[in-house]
Structure 1
Amino acid sequence: MNLKKNYLKKSADILFLIQIFTLPFFVEHISNILIIITTCLYILSTERINKPDKLFLFLLFPMIKFVGIFYSDYIPIVENTQIFLDKYIVYIFYFICFIYVDKHQFNNLKTFFILGTLFTLITSFSYNFILSINVGDFNIENFIYHKLLSLYGLHSSYFSLYLLISLIFLLNNKTIIGIYRIISIVLIIIGLILLESRIITISAFLCLLFLMFKYVRTHKNKNIILFGFISVSLLVIFTIPQDYKKRFEQIYNFDSKKLIGGNYENGVTQRVFLWKLGINILHDYPLIGVGSNSDQFYLNKQLEKEINKDIYKPSEIKAIKSYLKRNLNLHNQYLSILVSHGLIGLFCFLVFMLMPLYVSYKEKNIHILLTQIPLILFCTTENVLLRNKGIMIFAFIYAIYGFYYFRCLLNEKE
C-alpha cells in the first residue's frame, strides 16, 4: 500500500513539473488538465485530513467572482460560467493540491517553479542571442523589455513578477545550493534589469529593505550590512540601461493635464486616464458593481462617451479610439474589483489579500511577506486576474499561504 502511495506521489511530482513548464507556451487548457490530475494523485497518495473551516477564506475571492456571474447584464450566465471555470479552476486545484502535499513535496514544488522560470529566461535569452548572430546586430535593445521574451510572446511585467517570486523562493531554498544558487540569482537579477518593469523594481527594493531590517536585528555586524545594502543599491541604479532610467522618468515627469494624444503619452499617463474612467463607472454601480467579466464592456462604453465629447483635441480623440480598438483594460486590479463587484467585493478582496500577513505573523516567516509585497503592488498597475498567466502566479502564491496556514491551525490545535 505504501509502495503504491509513493508511486502516486512521484507521478504527481512529475506531472506538476510538466505543468509548470507549460507556462511559457500558454497552453492553458493542458495546464488546467495537468493540475487537476496532479491534485487527484496527491489526494489519493495522502491520508485523509480534516481541513479547518477557516480555510474557506482562501476561496473567498473565487466565491465572489462566482456570485458576480448571476447579476452581470452583459455576458450570459452559461458563457460567464465557462469563463469562470477556465480562469479559476487553476486557483482552486492549486489550493487543494497544496493542502495535501507534505513538507518535502511542498519544497519540491517551489523548486519546480524556480526551474520553470529559469528555463523560460535562459531559452528566451539564447533565442535572441542566436537571432542577433544571424542578423549581425548585437544591439542591447534586442534583449530588453518585450523583445527579450519574443520567443514566447510573454508580457514583460508578468514575467518580471515570476522572476521576483522565484528569487524570493531561492533565498529559502535548500535544494538549489552553492554555485548553482549564485548563478540562478545572478541570472534572475539580469532578467529583472533587462525587462525594465517599474513596479517590480520598486517591489524588489522594498523586499530588500525588509530583508535588511531582518538581518540588522539578527546580526552583529550591522554597519557592514547597511554599507553592503547601500553599495548594491547604488551599483544597480548606476549600471542599469538608459531606457530603464527613462521609464522611471515617466513617473517623475508626470503631468495630470497632459495624459494622452502627444509625445508625453506613456504607460503611466495611459493608466491614469483609464483609472479616471473607471471611477466614473463606479458612480452608477457603487455597492455590488456591474458583475463578473463586465468591467471591460462598461469601460468601452465610457471610452465611446469620451469620444463624443468636445473637450478633447484631435490627437487625444485618436488616442482614445486606439484604446477602444485595442480593448485596453483598467490596468488596476483593485479598481477592476470595484467596478465588477462594488465596495462589497473590494472589502472581501482586501480581506483575501491581507490573509497572508496573518500567516506570515503566525509562522514568523518573512518569506511569506516578501512574496506578498510584489503581488500587492503589481495589482495597482495590472489586472492580474484577467489573464491566465496572472491567475497562475496568484494561485501558486495563495496555495503556498494555504499550506502554511493549514499547518499553523494544526499546531494551534495541538
Structure 2
Amino acid sequence: MIKASEDLKFKLIDASLMLMFALPLFPTNVKPYVIIFLGLSVLIGNLGKPFSFDLKKFLINSFIYLLMIVSLLYSQNMEYGLNKLETMSSLVLFPLIFALFPKCYLNDIFINLYKYLTVYFIAILSFNLISFFYHGLHYGETIFIHYPTVNKIAQGPYNIHPIYLSIHICVALLFSFFIIRKLQSNYKRAAIILFDIILILFLFILLKKGPIIVLALVFLIFALFQRSKKVLYIALFVIILNVVAIMSIPEYRAKFSELVKIENVDSGGATSTNIRYSIYSIAIKKMIESPIIGYGIGDGKDVLLETYKEESPILYKEKYNSHNQYISFMLALGIIGLMVFLFFMSYNLVYAIRYNNQILILLLLLYGLMMSFENIMEREDGVIYFSFFIGFFALKSYNEKLNEKVLNGKNLKNLG
C-alpha cells in the first residue's frame, strides 16, 4: 500500500514536469495553472515524509528577487515596480518549489531526463510548424517575411516576441545535442538531425542574429566537451556552413554586417545594433550616477526614458528598455544587485562543473550570453523558462552530490 502511494506521488511529479517541458504549447492564461500543478505535486510528494527545505539553496537562487522587493523602498513608480515583481515572480516561485523537492524521487526523475528533453524539443518544433503552416494559408509565400510579426501580434494567447521564440529554438537545439548522444538507433538520430535542420531554418526565418551567434558558440563548447576530434570537426563544418549561408543571402549578410558598422541610432539609422549601442551609451551614464543601489525596480526604466527624451527622439518614441539584463540589474539595484545575480549564476556554474552537469553548464552560458543583448528576465516568455530550467537542472548537480555522499559512506563502511 505504501509503495503504491509512493508510486502515485512520483507519477504526479513526473506528469507535472512533463507538462512544464511542454509549456510552450499552452496559451498564456493556462501556463500559471501548469506551474501551480508542479508546486502542488511537489507538496503532495512530501506528504508522509519529514519536512525538508533547503534554505541555503532557496536564498541563493531567489535573493535577487528579494532584493528587488527591498528596492521598492526607494522606488517612486510603485505601480511599475509591482508589475515587474509580478512578471518576474518565477525568480522566487521555482527556487521555492525546488528547495522543497523530495530527495527520494531525484534518481527516478533524472532517469527520465531524456524524456523531458524530448518533450520540450517536440513542443518547440510543433509550435513553429503549426504557426508557420497555419499563417502560411493566409500569407502564402510571404509567410517567410511575415513569420516573425505574426508570432508577435496575430496569435492571441500564443503571441511571442521573435527574440524569445529564437531563444526557445536555441534551447531546443541544445537539448537535441544530448538527445542525439543518448540515442542508440541511427534512424532516430537521423530524425532528430532532420528536425534540427528544420529548427535552424526557423531560426534564420526569425532573423535574430544574437541567438544565432550564441547558439554557434554553445554548439562549439558542447563539441569540445565530447573530447572527440570527429565531433569537433563536424561542429566546425556545421558552423562554417551556416556562415557561408549567411554571407550568400543578401538579407542575412546585411543584418550581420551591422556588427561591423556601429553608430548612434539618431545619426546612423535604427538598426538593432545601433539601437543597442545608443541605449548602452545612455544607460552607462545613468549607472555611474547611482552605482551602489541603483534607482529601484520601479524607476530603472523611467530613468532611461527621461534621458531618451533629452538625447534620442527615436529611443524615446519606442520606449526601449535597456536591452541588456546586466545593465537592467545595475539600473534597478546597482552593483549590489548585479553582484548578487552573478553570484547566483556562478554558484550554479561551479557545482555544474564539479559534477560534470554539461547541460546546466551550457544552459548557463547560453542564457548568460543572451542576457548581454536582451532583458530576458523581464518578460514571462523569458523568465519562466530561465528560472525553471536553471532550478530543475541544478537539481541534477544536487542529486549527484547526494549520490556521492552515499557512495563515500558505503566505501567508508566497507573500509571499516
Question: What TM-score range do you get, normalising by the shorter chain?
Answer: 0.7 to 0.9
- Structure 1 contact 52–406 (Cα < 8 Å) conserved: no
SS of 1:207's equivalent?
A: helix
Does the 8 A contact of 2:82 with 2:298 survive in 1? no
- Asked if the contact 1:332–1:382 (Cα under 8 Å) also holds between the matched residues in 2, the reply is yes
Contact 2:295 2:332 in 1 (8 A): yes
For the residue of structure 2 that corresponds to 1:286, the secondary structure is coil
Residue aligning to 1:92: 92
Correspondent of 2:395 among 398, 403, 407: 403
The number of aligned residues is 385
- d(CA) in 2 for partners of 1:304, 1:67: 28
- Contact 1:16 / 1:34 at 8 angstroms: preserved in 2? no
Match of 1:355 in 2: 347
- Name the residue aligned to 2:192: 181
Matched, 1:280 2:285: yes
- With the length of structure 2 as denominator, give the TM-score of the two structures: 0.82
Equivalent in 200, 212, 233 of residue 239 of structure 2 = 233
Q: Which has the higher contact order (CA 8 A, sep 6+)?
A: 1
Contact 2:268 2:274 in 1 (8 A): no
> More displaced, 168-177 or 343-352?
168-177
Q: Following the alignment from structure 1 to structure 2, what is the Cα–Cα distance between the partners of residues 32 and 305?
A: 40
1:293 counterpart residue number: 298
Identity %: 19
Match of 1:33 in 2: 33
TM-score, normalized by length of structure 1? 0.82
Specify the alignment match of 1:261 in structure 2: 266
> d(CA) in 1 for partners of 2:93 and 2:107?
18
Q: CA deviation at 1:4?
A: 3.7
Query: Which of 58, 67, 71 is residue 70 of structure 2 equivalent to?
Result: 67
Provide the rounded CA distance (Å) in 2 between the counterparts of 1:49 and 1:214.
38
- TM-superposed CA distance for 1:385, in Å, is 1.4
One-letter code of the match for 1:59?
S
In structure 1, what is the equivalent of residue 414 of structure 2? none
User: More displaced, 148-157 or 190-199?
Assistant: 148-157
1:385 alignment partner in structure 2: 377
User: Once the 2 structures are TM-superposed, how far is the Cα of residue 405 of structure 1 from its aligned partner?
Assistant: 3.5
Structure 1 contact 17–112 (Cα < 8 Å) conserved: yes
Query: What RMSD in Å do the two structures reach over aligned CA positions?
Result: 2.8
Secondary structure of the 2:259 match is helix
CA gap 1:191/1:75 in 2 versus in 1, 3 angstroms: same
Contact 1:330 1:383 in 2 (8 A): yes
Structure 1 position 25, deviation (Å): 6.0
Q: List aligned pairs for 1:6-405, cutoff 5 A.
A: 6-18=7-19, 21=22, 23=24, 27=28, 30-46=30-46, 47-48=49-50, 50-55=52-57, 56-75=59-78, 80-81=81-82, 83-84=84-85, 86-98=86-98, 99-100=101-102, 102-106=106-110, 107=113, 108-133=115-140, 137=141, 140-143=144-147, 145-146=148-149, 151=155, 152-173=158-179, 174=182, 177-215=188-226, 217=227, 219=228, 222=229, 224-240=230-246, 241-255=249-263, 259-262=264-267, 264-306=269-311, 320-405=312-397
Hey, what's the Cα distance between the residues in 2 that align with 1:360 and 1:406? Answer: 9
Q: What does residue 309 of structure 1 align with? A: none
- Aligned partners of 1:92 and 1:400: how far apart in 2? 14
Secondary structure of the corresponding residue to residue 265 of structure 2: coil
For 1:264 and 1:321, locate their aligned partners in 2 and report how far apart those are by CA, in whole Å: 12
Conserved 8 A contact 1:285-1:342 = yes
Read off the aligned partner of 1:246 and give its amino acid letter.
Answer: A
Instruction: Report the CA distance between 1:344 and its aligned residue.
Output: 0.9
Secondary structure in 1 matching 2:343: helix
Quick one: distance in 2 between partners of 1:190 and 1:15? 31
Q: Conserved in 2, the CA contact under 8 Å of 1:12 and 1:41? A: yes
How big is the shift at 1:179? 4.6
The separation in 2 between residues aligned to 1:304 and 1:126, in whole angstroms, is 42
Q: Any idea what SS the aligned residue of 2:270 has?
A: coil
Give the Cα separation in 2 of the matches to 1:344 and 1:263: 35
Measured after TM superposition, the shift of residue 384 of structure 1 is: 1.3
* Secondary structure of residue in 2 paired with 1:292: coil
Query: 1:198 is matched by which residue type in structure 2?
Result: K
Residue deviations 1:155-178, cap 9 Å, x none?
A: 112111111111222222358944
Q: Is the 8 A contact 1:165 1:371 kept in 2?
A: yes
Which structure shows the bigger proportion of residues in helix conformation? 2
Contact 1:21 1:116 in 2 (8 A): yes
2:129 partner SS: helix
Q: Give the letter for the 2:319 counterpart.
A: N
| Residues 1:303 and 1:389: Cα distance change in structure 2 (over 3 Å) | same
SS at match of 1:102: helix
Single out whichever of 98-107 and 287-296 deviates more from structure 2.
Answer: 98-107
Q: Deviations over 1:237-294 (max 9, x none)?
A: 2224432221110011223xxx123563311111111112212222331111111132
Residues 326-365 of structure 1: CA deviation (Å, up to 9, x unaligned) = 3210101111111100111111111112223212211113
* 8 A contact 2:266–2:313 mirrored in 1: no
Unaligned runs of 5+ in 1: 307-319
Per-residue CA deviation, residues 78-118 of structure 1 (Å, 9 max, x unaligned), is: x744642x224333333344434534435244443323222
Q: How has the CA–CA distance of structure 1 residues 102 and 165 changed in structure 2, closer, same or farther, with 3 Å as cutoff? A: same
How big is each residue's C-alpha offset from its partner over 1:57-86, in whole Å with a ceiling of 9 and x where there is no partner?
11222222222222212216xx744642x2
Q: What is the alpha-carbon distance in structure 2 between the residues aligned to residue 48 and residue 193 of structure 1?
A: 51
